[in-house]
Amino acid sequence: MEFLNISASQQKLIIVNHNPSITLARHLFLCRGAKVCICDNEIILLTEPAVERCPFVESFYGVSGIDEEAVRRIVRYKVDHFGFCSPKRKFIREKVVIFGSSEIISACMRLGLIDAAVIVCDGAGTVVATDAELVQGIGSIMNGVLETSPIKEVISYISSHGGEVLDPENASIDQINGVRHAISIGFKRIAVTVIGPNSHIIPKLRSLPPNDVTVIIFSTCNTVVGENEVKFLKEADIVCASASQTVREKIGPKALIQLGVTIPVFVLTDIGKRLVLAYIQECEEPLLISRVKMPFILEDKQPVLRRKREE
C-alpha cells in the first residue's frame, strides 16, 4: 500500500480499514465540521474543520481561530477531562449549553412529557434511555458520532443507570431500530436525536409510529448540512442550526420559536413548541422573549465558516 502526503496516524487508520483481522477500537465523529477519528488513543483528523471561528468555542474552550490543531486541542480536552471515547467516560449531569438537545429532552422527561429517548453515546452506539440524568450525562459532552466501538465500562454504566444499549456487541448506531425497539417496549412519547449526516432517515422515523405513539425528532450537529439535506430537516420537530448558514436561511424562516442567537435552535412543530415552552418554565436563567421575523440573526455573533478551497 502506497502512502502519499499523509501522517503516520492516518496510515495506521488506512491499514486498520483494509485489514479485518485488526480490531483496534476506533471512534469516528464530527468536531467543528471536521471528521475526526480516535484510534488506539490517537486523534486523527481526516478532513479539515468547516468552521473558522465560533463565539461558543471561544468562550467555552478559549480557542479563537479554529484550525486542525485547534480541533485536536478541543478533542484532547474532552478526552482528558471528560473521558470522551474512553473507559473513563464521565457523565456530566449539569447543563453545558442552555438550549442543547439533551438539556431539553432531560427536562421534559422529568416533567413527564417524554417517556424515553433514543440517543447515541460514544462507546455504546444507539441507546434507549428512560432516565433524565442519563440523557443529560450522555449528551452533555457529545459531538456528532458517526461510528463508535464498544467500551464495556460505558455500556455497563448505561445499563445500570436507566438505559439499554441496542447493540452492546458492536455499538452500532441505528436510530430507526432504536425507535422501533422503544415502541415495542410500549413507550408512547419518544424523543430521538439525528445528526446532520444521517438526516436522510428522518422521513422514515416520521413514518414509523402507530397512531397512539408520538416520536419527537431532534435534528442536531448540522454544521456540514447543505442544500441536499434541507428537505429532511424540514420534517424534524426541533433543529439545531449549528454553524450551517444553509440551515439558518432555509429552516429559520419556518420556525415557530427560535432559541438562542449564536447557535440558533429552530422549533418547527406544535409538539416541539409545547416541549420547549415547558422547558423554558424550568429554566432559572433570565430569558428575553420577543416577537420577530424569523430567523433572528446577529451577524457578529455567528460562527464563521471556512471558505472552500478553489479547485
Tens-place pLDDT, residues 123-154: 999 999 999 999 999 999 998 999 999 999 99
Q: Within 10 A of 115 (CB to CB), how many other CB atoms are there?
A: 17
The 144-147 sheet, strands edge to edge: 42-45, 34-39, 26-31, 144-147
With cell 439545531, the residue in question is: 240
- How far apart, in whole angstroms, are the C-alpha atoms of residue 16 and residue 21? 8
Length of the chain: 311
| Per-residue pLDDT at 309 exceeds 70 | no
- How far apart, in whole angstroms, are the C-alpha atoms of residue 4 and residue 114? 51
Q: Within 10 A of 50 (CB to CB), how many other CB atoms are there?
A: 21
Burial grade of 198 (CB within 10 A; 0-12, 13-18, 19 or more): buried
Q: Within 10 A of 308 (CB to CB), how many other CB atoms are there?
A: 8
- How far apart, in whole angstroms, are the C-alpha atoms of residue 69 and residue 45? 9
Q: 283 versus 253: which is more confidently predicted? A: 253
DSSP bridge pairs for 37: 28, 44
- Tell me what percent of the residues of the chain surpass a pLDDT of 70: 91
Q: 7 versus 145: which is more confidently predicted? A: 145
- How far apart, in whole angstroms, are the C-alpha atoms of residue 189 and residue 105? 11
pLDDT score of 1: 35
Q: Enter the DSSP assignment of 201.
A: G
Q: Quick check: 139 and 102 in contact, CB under 8 A?
A: yes
Residue 249: helix, strand or coil by DSSP? helix
Q: Which residues have C-beta within 8 Å of that of residue 225, sequence separation ≥ 6?
A: 196, 199, 233, 242, 244, 246, 247
| Per-residue pLDDT at 121 exceeds 90 | yes
Q: What is the pLDDT of residues 181-218, one digit of tens each?
A: 999 999 999 999 999 999 999 999 999 999 999 999 99
Q: Kindly write down the DSSP assignment for every residue of 122-135, as one continuous string.
A: TTTEEEEE--HHHH
| Per-residue pLDDT at 40 exceeds 50 | yes
* Mean pLDDT on 235-243: 98
Query: How do 257-259 and 214-220 pair as beta strands?
Result: unpaired
Residue 50: helix, strand or coil by DSSP? coil
- How far apart, in whole angstroms, are the C-alpha atoms of residue 226 and residue 247? 8
Q: What is the pLDDT of residues 67-88, one digit of tens each?
A: 999 999 999 999 999 999 999 9
Alpha helices in the chain (DSSP H): 8-18, 55-61, 68-82, 101-110, 132-139, 152-159, 175-185, 202-207, 227-233, 245-250, 270-282
Q: Enter the DSSP assignment of 171.
A: T
**Residue 266, all three cell numbers:** 429552530
Tell me how far CA of residue 3 lies from CA of 7, 8, 23, 36, in angstroms: 9, 9, 21, 19
